[in-house]
Structure 1
Amino acid sequence: MGCDRNCGLIAGAVIGAVLAVFGGILMPVGDMLIENTIKKQAVLEEGTVAYQNWVKTGSEVYRQFWIFDVQNPEEVVVNSSAIKVKQRGPYTYRVRYLAKENITHDSESHTVSFVQPNGAIFEPSLSVGTENDTLTVLNLAVVAAAHLYPSAFVQVVLNSLIKKSKSSLFQKRTVKEFLWGYKDPFLSLAPYPVSTTVGVFYPYNNTADGVYTVFSGKDNINQVAVIDTYKGKRSIYAVFGAEINLKGIPVYRFVLPPVAFASPLQNPDNHCFCTEKVISKNCTSYGVLDIGKCKDGKPVYISLPHFLHASPDVGEPIEGLSPNEEEHSTYLDVEPITGFTLRFAKRLQINLLVKPAKKIDVLKNLKRNYIVPILWLNESGTIGDENAEKFRKQVTGKINLLGLVEMILLSVGVVMFVAFMISYCACRSKKVK
C-alpha cells in the first residue's frame, strides 16, 4: 500500500511537471506557429487575404478639407496687412474607393509597385455645408504666374491681362471650383496656348496617383504595405509613438515627427526642400517644405495644419491659426503581428508663397513675403466594426486563446507538481518516524 501511494504521488508530480514544461514550451513555439500562419496571409502576394483587401480597400477612406476663408483681402493688397483667415469645413469626400492598377511585383527587392486611380464623391452628411459654399481665397493663377515669370517686361504684360480680366490677389470661389477646377478669366486672355482651368487638385477625377512602391512584407512582415518610394523619390516617415487599443485590438501608433519638417540645419535629409533662401532665411526656418519641383515650379509649400511645429516666423503674418497636436498631427495605427494599418489620419496643409512684384498692381504694395495657408486636409480611414470583429477572431482571438491554454497548463502543472511532491515528502516523513 505504501509503495502504491508513493508511486501514485510521484506519478502525479511527474505529470504536473510535464504539464508545466509543456505549457512553458507552448508559449514560444505556439506563438511562433500561429504568427507564422497569420503572417503567410498578411504578405502582399496573389492569393493571400491581405492582397485581396489591399488591391481594393474594404474600409471607407475619407478626405476632409478645411479651407481658409480670407477676412481682409483689401487690407492685404493695399496695406500689406497680416492676413486674417477663418477656416471653413470640413467638406468631406469619399476617396480611394477604386482598385489599384498597374500592379507589378519585384521578387528581388520584395516590393510591389502600383498606381491609385483618383476619384472623389462628396459626402453631404459628413460636411458642414455644400460644394456651392462661396469663400474668399487666393487667386491661384495670379500668384503662380507672378512667381513663374519674374522678368519685369513679362510682368508688365501680365499686369495688363490681370487688370483687363478684373482679377486680383484674392477671389471668391465655390468649394467645388476651388478644389476641383474652374475656368480662370486671367488665363483665358493669355496670348499663348495654356490650360485655362485651375484648381488646387485639378485635374483629379479620371487621373491616377503614383507610382507608389511598397514593401510586400515577404522578408519583413513589419514593413508590409509601407511606402518605399513615391514617384521614385523620398517619402515622409513616421516613428513609434505609443501602444494603444483600437476596438479591442492592440496596435502601435506611429506619428509624423517634427524633424520631418525641420530645417536642413536640423535635418540634413531635408536639404532638397530648401530652394528659396529668401523665404526660408538661409534655410533656418522650419515647419514647411518646398515642393515646387513636384508642381511644375509653382510656389507650393506643405506643412502640418495651422503650421504645427513650424518656426514662429512662418506663421507670424497670418492671423486666425491655432495649432494643436490632437487635431493636426499625422499618425498610423499598425497591428504589430500582421503589420496591417488599421487606422490612419494623414493631415497636411497646402500653402502658397506670395511675394511682392513691382510691375503687378495687386502685388506691388506688399512689403514682405507670405506663406499663405489655403487649405488643410485630413485623409483618414479606420477598420470597420465587422472587419474588426473578424480580425479579433482570426488574429488576436487565436493568440489570446493560446495564451489562456498556456497559462492553464503551466498553472495546473506547477500546482500538481508542488502538491504531489509535498504529499510525497509528508508520507516519507511519517514512514521514517
Structure 2
Amino acid sequence: MAGVANTKSIVLGVLGVVFVVVGTVLVFLVPIMMDQQVEKNVRIDPSSGFAYEMWRDLPVPFYMSIYVFEVVNHKEVLLGEKPLLEERGPYVYREYKKKENITFNENGTVSFVEFRTLHFDPERSNGKEEDHVVVPNILVLGSSIMLEDLGIPIKWIISGAFSAFNEEAFINRTVKDILWGYENPFLDFLNTILPGKLPFKGKFGFFSDFNNSNSGVFTINTGMEDISQVQMIDSWNGLEQVDYWNSNQTNMINGTAGQMWPPFRKPSEPLEFYSPDACRSMKLVYEKEETFRGIPTFRYTAPNYLFANGTDYPPNEGFCPCVASGVQNVSSCRFNAPVFISFPHFYNADPSFLESVDGLHPTEELHSLFLDMHPLTGIPMNCSIKMQLNMLTKSVSGIVQTGKIKPVILPVLWFAESGYLDGPVYYTYYNILILMPVLLDYLQYVLIGIGLFFIVVALVLPFFKQDKCFLFWSSNKNVDESQESNAQKEKLNAPNGIVLLEARL
C-alpha cells in the first residue's frame, strides 16, 4: 500500500509544480499581454476593427446643453444700471461626429476632417427653440466697439444705419435664431461697406458656423511606430502653430485633438489638447481617482491658471491684452470682435466679474469641467467640457444706440459638451480591455494557489496512517481479555474450533 501512496504524492507534486510554474509565468506574461492588447486597440489602424471604428465614428452619445442669459432689465442697462441676468435652458442638442477624408500618410500620421451635426432634443431640454429671449445685439454693441476708433462723422453714419435697419442694442429673438442664425439685411450692408471686417457672413447667430461644419484638417500620429505618440497632433490646417497670440508658447499647437490620448497615463502627466473654437491649446490636470461603471479612471479638471492673466500666471502673458484672471480675451481670433471666454457663471474668475452683473451663482458642481479617463488606454469614459461666451458692452460716443451702458463683460450664454461610454461600445470595451485582463490577473494567482496546495498535500500524504491494513492469525488458546481489547478482537466462526483474530492497526 505504501507504493500507492507514493504514486499519489508524485502525481500531486508534479501537478502542483506545473500549476505553480504556469501561474508564475502568467505573472510576467499577463502585464505584457495586457499592454499588447491595449496597444492593439488604441492605434489608429484600419485592421484593428472595433478601435478604429470607434475612433472614426465616435458612436458614443454626445450632447451639447446650451444655457442662454436673458437680460431682464435691458432698458435700465441702457441708462447705466447693472445688468440683471436670468438663465434660460438648457436647450439640449444631440451631437454627432464623424471623420471624413481620412488619409494615411507615409510618415506615420493620418489626416482627417471631422464633421459635426446637432439635432434638438426636446425631451432633454427645458424649453423650446421657439422661446423668445432678450440678449445683447452683437451687431450693434460688438461692431460699435470695433469701430470705436473711427472718426465721429463715420460713427454717426453707422448709427444712422442702425436706425434705418431698426437695429438696437438688445434684440428679442427666438433661441433658434440667436443660436443658429437668421437673415439680417443690416449684416449684408455692413459686409458691403466693411468687407472682411466682421466675423459674420450670411446668417447672423452665435453658433451659425458651428452646425453642419468641421473644425479644420487635423493631422495626428497613428501610434503604429511609437505608441506613446498616438493621437498627438502633427499639424492643424497644415500649421504647427497659430499666429493669434503674442508668444511662441501660446501659439503652439500641443497635445491631441481632444478625443483620446496616448495610453499608460500617469497622474503627473497633464492632458493637453488643441481647441479650434478657443483658438488655443489647453491643459487639464489630474485631480483624483474615480470609477465609471466599474472602470477605474483618473479625473482631470481645469487648473486655476487656465484663464489667468499674465500677472497671476506669467506663461499666459502671450494671451494678453488681458483683463482680470478668469476671463480670456479671444478677440484676436474672432475678427477683433470684443469676445471673451470663461467658465460658466464666472466660476473661478476674479470676483469683480461676478460683482458687475446680477443673477449669477457659480458652483463647482454645476460649472466646473471634468474628464474621466481610463489611464491604461487613454480613452475618456465620461466628460463634461463647459465654457461661457461673453462680450464687452459699453457706451460708444457717436453711436446713440449704445446709450449710457457702463463697461461690463456681459455673459451671453454657456454650454456643456458631454459624452460617456454606453451601449454595445461600452460592453465591448469593458470585456476586451477590463474584464479579460482582470480574469487573467485572477487566474495566475488561482493557479499558483492550487499548485502550492497540491505540493503541500504531496509532501504530507506519505505520513498519514493507513486506516485499513489487516493482519490475520489463528490460535487454539484462550485469549486474554486485555489483549482482545487492544487488538480489537473479533471472533469469527471457523472449523475445528479455530479462532480467527483481526487486528486493525
Give yes or no for TM over 0.5.
yes
The aligned counterpart of 2:453 is 415
1:269 partnered with 2:270? no
Matched AA of 1:101: E
User: Cα 1:295–1:317, aligned 2, differ >3 Å: closer, same or farther?
Assistant: same
1:29 partnered with 2:68? no
SS of 2:282's partner is: coil
Across the aligned residues of Structure 1 and Structure 2, the Cα RMSD in angstroms comes to: 2.8
Does the 8 Å contact 2:221/2:230 carry over to 1?
yes
The aligned counterpart of 2:102 is 103
Distance 2:418 2:15 in 1: 54
Q: Could you list the runs of 5+ residues in structure 1 that have no partner in the other structure?
A: 428-433
Distance 2:378 2:442 in 1: 24
The aligned counterpart of 2:269 is none
1:334 partnered with 2:366? no
The aligned counterpart of 2:499 is none
Task: Report Cα offsets for 1:262-291 as digits up to 9, x if no partner.
Answer: 222333332232125xxx1xxxx1111111
The aligned counterpart of 1:90 is 90
Structure 1 residue 95 displacement after superposition: 1.9
Structure 1 residue 119 displacement after superposition: 2.0
User: Cα 1:257–1:423, aligned 2, differ >3 Å: closer, same or farther?
Assistant: farther
1:216 partnered with 2:222? yes
1:374 partnered with 2:375? no
Matched AA of 2:169: L
Does the 8 Å contact 2:43/2:227 carry over to 1?
no
The aligned counterpart of 1:244 is 290
Distance 1:267 1:12 in 2: 68
Task: Report Cα offsets for 1:188-213 as digits up to 9, x if no partner.
Answer: 55462664631101233443222334
Which region of structure 1 is more displaced relative to structure 2, 391-400 or 20-29?
A: 20-29
Q: Could you list the runs of 5+ residues in structure 2 that have no partner in the other structure?
A: 196-200, 233-255, 258-272, 466-505
Identity of aligned residues (%): 30
Distance 2:158 2:462 in 1: 102
Matched AA of 2:438: N
Task: Report Cα offsets for 1:295-343 as digits up to 9, x if no partner.
Answer: 1111111111111111111222111111112222222222233222232
Structure 1 residue 22 displacement after superposition: 3.2
Task: Report Cα offsets for 1:55-80 as digits up to 9, x if no partner.
Answer: 112122211100001111011111x2
Structure 1 residue 230 displacement after superposition: 5.0
The aligned counterpart of 1:430 is none
Matched AA of 1:304: F
Equivalent of residue 138 in structure 1, options 136, 139, 146: 136
Distance 1:266 1:423 in 2: 75
Which region of structure 1 is more displaced relative to structure 2, 11-20 or 318-327?
A: 11-20
1:53 partnered with 2:54? yes
User: Cα 1:14–1:94, aligned 2, differ >3 Å: closer, same or farther?
Assistant: same
The aligned counterpart of 2:491 is none
Structure 1 residue 371 displacement after superposition: 1.0
SS of 2:398's partner is: coil
Structure 1 residue 425 displacement after superposition: 8.9
Does the 8 Å contact 1:212/1:229 carry over to 2?
no
Distance 1:346 1:7 in 2: 67
Superposition TM-score, scaled by structure 1 size: 0.86
Equivalent of residue 355 in structure 2, options 316, 319, 322: 316
The aligned counterpart of 1:203 is 209
SS of 1:69's partner is: strand
User: Cα 1:10–1:347, aligned 2, differ >3 Å: closer, same or farther?
Assistant: same
Distance 1:54 1:352 in 2: 35
Does the 8 Å contact 2:215/2:276 carry over to 1?
no
1:114 partnered with 2:141? no
Structure 1 residue 140 displacement after superposition: 1.2
Distance 1:87 1:27 in 2: 56
Which region of structure 1 is more displaced relative to structure 2, 412-421 or 163-172?
A: 412-421
Equivalent of residue 325 in structure 2, options 282, 286, 289: 286
Which region of structure 1 is more displaced relative to structure 2, 140-149 or 352-361?
A: 352-361
Task: Report Cα offsets for 1:375-417 as digits up to 9, x if no partner.
Answer: 1111111112332222222221111210121121122233344
Distance 1:397 1:359 in 2: 69
- 1:142-153 to structure 2, matched below 5 A, reads 142-150=140-148, 151-153=150-152
User: Cα 1:104–1:297, aligned 2, differ >3 Å: closer, same or farther?
Assistant: farther
The aligned counterpart of 1:74 is 75
Larger Rg: 2
Distance 1:304 1:213 in 2: 29
| Larger RCO, structure (CA 8 Å, separation 6 or more) | 1
User: Cα 1:341–1:105, aligned 2, differ >3 Å: closer, same or farther?
Assistant: farther
Count residues in correspondence. Answer: 416
1:260 partnered with 2:306? yes
Distance 1:101 1:370 in 2: 42
Does the 8 Å contact 2:85/2:358 carry over to 1?
yes
Distance 2:126 2:139 in 1: 28
Does the 8 Å contact 2:64/2:95 carry over to 1?
yes
Distance 2:220 2:368 in 1: 23
Matched AA of 1:103: I
The structure carrying a bigger helix percent of its residues is 1
User: Cα 1:349–1:384, aligned 2, differ >3 Å: closer, same or farther?
Assistant: same
Structure 1 residue 426 displacement after superposition: 9.4
SS of 1:237's partner is: strand
Does the 8 Å contact 1:39/1:221 carry over to 2?
no
Superposition TM-score, scaled by structure 2 size: 0.75
Task: Report Cα offsets for 1:201-250 as digits up to 9, x if no partner.
Answer: 12334432223344434423585473254569742121222322222222
User: Cα 1:147–1:115, aligned 2, differ >3 Å: closer, same or farther?
Assistant: farther
Matched AA of 2:342: S
SS of 2:123's partner is: helix
Structure 1 residue 157 displacement after superposition: 1.9
